[in-house]
């Protein structure tokens, strides 16, 4: 299971499980994800979507199974090549947006403030804003967090509910931006409860339920947008 066998796969999972005591957040997940696509991770609450992203990001170690990300089994070693964003803002409240980004940029070995400014502008915010991040609106926090995630120009982007509490205009803007990044060859994993935003942009919908991937389908189905219900449930409900 090396990248020479599967040169196109940016993420490969084999029998990955995560147990918390008796609760299985992920159950024997086996999947390959090709590069250069935007994957929507969908499913009900508690399905394991966030856990999956955190396992790929290396924040959680799987109880069982192996995974390979960007050709490496040791996720710590490819830290400079991916970005992660979650519901928590991952920003210091007492620092301004620019100060936050400059600190994190230095952790990645980036010392040029222009890169931070560019990232902030890309998400539609003003780099010269001196306001502390703690005083941002939720939408601004999400966007600044996204700016932090794309600072190091990552090949792989893992986003956990980036649009929650973001106004529609900003959300559409972010979605368009993500589509552009995908067009430039980046791979994006996006957990969301608002698939409509990515309707014409997402390459694949990955449905999860009870810790497993139950369905992968092309694009975003109309029923998913309309009802938000997992396709398997829909099919079993059908008369």
Partner 1 sequence: MKSKFTIFALITFALLSWGLYEALIGAPTEATMGPVQRIFYYHVPCAWVMELCFPANFLLSIAYLIWRKPEIDALAVSTAEVGVVFCTIVLLTGPIWGKPVWGIWWTWDARLTSTLVLWLIYVSYLILRKFSIGGPNAVLAASLAIFGCLDAVFVFMAIRWFRTQHPKPVFGGGADSGIDPRMLQAFFVNMAAFTALGILLVWLRFVLERTRQKVEEAHAMKALGATR
Partner 2 sequence: MTFATTLKNTLAKDLQLEWRSKDAINSMLFFALLVVVIFSFSFDLSPEESRPIAGGLVWVALLFAAVVALNQTWSRELRNSVLDAYRIAPAPLESLFLAKTIGNFIFVSVLELVIAPLFVIFYNLRSVGPVYQLVLASVLGNWALVVNGTFFGAISIRTRSREVLLPLLLFPISIPAMLAAVNATANTLTGEGSAYLPLVFLAVYDVVFTAVGLFLFETVLQAE
For position 122 contacting partner 2 by CB under 8 A, the verdict is no
- 96, 171 Cβ separation under 8 angstroms: no
User: Residue 168 belongs to what H/E stretch?
Assistant: helix 168-183
28 contact choice in partner 1, partner 2, none (CB below 5 to 8 Å, kind-dependent):
partner 1
- Contact with partner 2 (CB under 8 A) among 2, 30, 64, 106: 106
Does position 109 interact with partner 1 (CB under 8 A)? The reply is: no
Q: Which of 17, 72, 80, 122 binds partner 1 (CB under 8 A)?
A: 17
Closest distance of CB 48 from partner 1, Å: 12
76 binds partner 1 (CB under 8 A): no
Using CB under 8 A as the binding rule, whether residue 115 contacts partner 2 is answered as: no
Minimum CB separation of residue 141 from partner 2 in Å reads 8
Instruction: Output the furthest CA–CA distance in the chain (Å, rounded).
Output: 61
Token output for 133: 């991040």
58 scored as a contact of partner 1 (CB under 8 A): no
Find which of partner 1, partner 2, none residue 115 binds, CB within 5 to 8 Å per kind: none
Residue 239 is a binding residue for partner 2 (CB under 8 A):
no
The 3-state DSSP composition of the chain as helix, strand, coil percent (nearest 5) reads 35, 30, 35
Q: Which of 3, 6, 14, 19 binds partner 1 (CB under 8 A)?
A: 19
Alpha carbon distance, N-terminus to C-terminus of the chain = 43
Q: Which of 5, 22, 114, 226 binds partner 1 (CB under 8 A)?
A: 22
CA distance 234 to 24: 24
Cβ atoms of 106 and 151 closer than 8 Å: no
CA distance 62 to 51: 10
Binding stretches for partner 2 (CB under 8 A): 57-61, 76-77, 79-80, 82, 84, 86, 88-95, 99, 103-104, 106-109, 132, 148
């Amino acid at each position: 299971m090396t990248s020479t066998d599967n040169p196109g796969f940016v993420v490969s999972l084999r029998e990955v499980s995560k147990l918390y005591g008796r609760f299985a957040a992920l159950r024997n997940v086996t999947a390959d994800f090709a590069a250069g696509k935007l994957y929507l991770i969908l499913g009900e609450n508690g399905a394991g979507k966030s856990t999956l992203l955190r396992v790929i990001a290396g924040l959680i170690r799987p109880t069982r199974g192996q995974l390979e990300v960007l050709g490496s089994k040791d996720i710590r070693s490819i830290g400079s090549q991916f970005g992660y964003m979650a519901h928590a803002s991952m920003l210091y409240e007492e620092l301004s947006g620019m100060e936050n980004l400059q600190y994190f940029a230095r952790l990645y070995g980036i010392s040029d403030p222009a890169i931070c400014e560019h990232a902030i502008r890309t998400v539609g915010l003003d780099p010269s804003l001196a306001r502390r991040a703690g005083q941002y609106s939720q939408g601004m926090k999400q966007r600044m967090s996204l700016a932090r995630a794309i600072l190091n120009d990552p090949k792989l982007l893992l986003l956990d509910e980036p649009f929650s509490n973001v106004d529609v205009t900003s959300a559409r803007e972010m979605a368009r931006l993500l589509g552009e990044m995908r067009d430039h060859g980046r791979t994006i994993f996006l957990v969301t409860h608002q698939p409509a935003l990515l309707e014409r942009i997402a390459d694949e919908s990955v449905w999860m339920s009870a810790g497993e991937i139950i369905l992968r389908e092309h694009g975003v189905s109309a029923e998913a947008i309309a009802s938000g219900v997992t396709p398997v449930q829909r099919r079993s409900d059908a008369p």
